[in-house]
Structures are given as C-alpha cells and as structure tokens.
Structure 1
C-alpha cells in the first residue's frame, strides 16, 4: 500500500479576503496598492512591451507576450479579412509592428481590427474604403 500524502495546510484567513496581503504593521490598503502596482508591471510587460518585473523569467514572459499578439492577430484577421489580405504574407510582421507601435491594445477586438486597418492604410498597404453613394431616391434635385 502506498503512503498517504501529507494533508495540505490551509492559509490563515478566508481565501480571497485579502487578510494575508499585508505584512506585519502594514495597512491593508497600502498592501493592496503594492499588489496592484506589481500586477500592472506584469500586464505592461505582457501587452505593452514593458520591462520584465523582478522574479519573472524573461524568456517565458516574452513567449507569452508573443502568444498574446498572435491571438490578437488571428482575431483581427477574422474580423477584418480585407486587412489580412492587404498585409498578405507579411501579416505576422505587420501586425507585430502595429502592436509594438501601439503599446497597449485598444479596448475590444473590433477597435483593434479597425486600428490595424487604419495603420495599414496610413502605410499605403490598404486602399481607402469606397465612398458610399447616396441612393438615387434620396438625392435632391436642385
């Protein structure tokens, strides 16, 4: 018979309550502020090309950041196939350059797709959208 594993000790306090966030003599609000700043540094490193925070493996964080850019690129290509076609074989490189230039992604995939299309248009890779013509029944005779 195999030996039974040791029971896992539970941390003091309720899970998620924030009771163990603060060190001895530290205000809970200050500890939460420190945690929020640390989380912000990790997010900036992942999505905005920020510095890798201390204690993190730089290679793994870069790999995860590249994965997030690839995910954005695939969704943008589905939402704006015209932009993907315009970028052609250079789609990965073009989108990576767009993501680096932008820093932080916009809120929402539709805005990201439209931003990438505008970025391609500024560089002459995507033609201007055709002007919408007024239907004949709405045109006024002078």
Structure 2
C-alpha cells in the first residue's frame, strides 16, 4: 500500500470517527459508531468543563446542540480545546441559541 493510499484510508477512518462519515471497508460500522459516540462524549465533557456557562444556559439542549456542532466541526490538532469551546459558543450565538455576550470572553 502506498503512502497516498494509506493517508486516504486514515482520512476515511477519521471522517467516520469525527464527522459521522461512512465506515471504511474492513471496519465494523457499529463499532465505529460506538467509538465515535465515545469521542464526541469526551469532547462534550471537556467543553462543559472549560465553558460551564454553556450547559448551564442551555440545560438539556446542550448535548444535542453540541452533537450537531461536533459533527459539522470536528476538532483537529490545530485548534486548542479552549478555542474549540469558544468557537462552539460563537456558533451558538450565531444561530440564536444564546444571546450575544455583553462583553468579550476573557482568556487566562
């Protein structure tokens, strides 16, 4: 298998795990679905930890909204977790799910 073929297979696997893409050939679709859910749950918990205002404001809507965001905006190694959480908050504001903040979010 060439490097290009391997890279393409790895990209398919990441698409299946992070963006609800189709399971690549040779992989069990159900197992990938379970693992993708576990990875999304982990990111959801991290966002809730970093931005406790979001689950507090959204209540039961937090999980479903995060799942939509996470599917359409998979986290990459180029974005830090706090930046990802802030991007999710900005997405919520842009969709009208949260009011526009009165002041800029502070970073430590």
Same fold (TM over 0.5): yes
- Structure 2: state its 5+ residue gaps: none
Aligned length, in residue pairs: 102
Residue 50 of structure 1 and its aligned partner are, at CA, apart by 1.8
Q: Which has the higher contact order (CA 8 A, sep 6+)?
A: 2
Task: Give the TM-score, by structure 2 length.
Answer: 0.83
Alignment pair present for 1:127 and 2:96: no
Classify the secondary structure of the residue corresponding to 2:33. helix
Using the alignment, how far apart are the partners of 2:82 and 2:56 within structure 1? 17
Classify the secondary structure of the residue corresponding to 1:65. helix
Using the alignment, how far apart are the partners of 1:40 and 1:119 within structure 2? 25
Residue 66 of structure 1 and its aligned partner are, at CA, apart by 0.8
Q: Comparing 84-93 with 62-71, which one deviates more in the overlay? A: 84-93
Task: Give the TM-score, by structure 1 length.
Answer: 0.65
- Aligned with residue 101 of structure 1, among 72, 76, 84: 72
Query: Residue in 1 aligned with 2:23?
Result: 52
Q: Which has the larger radius of gyration?
A: 1
Using the alignment, how far apart are the partners of 2:15 and 2:21 within structure 1? 5
Using the alignment, how far apart are the partners of 1:123 and 1:40 within structure 2? 29
Superposition misfits of 4+ residues, deviation over 6 angstroms: none
- Structure 1: state its 5+ residue gaps: 1-21, 23-30, 133-142
Using the alignment, how far apart are the partners of 1:84 and 1:111 within structure 2? 17
Using the alignment, how far apart are the partners of 2:84 and 2:103 within structure 1? 22
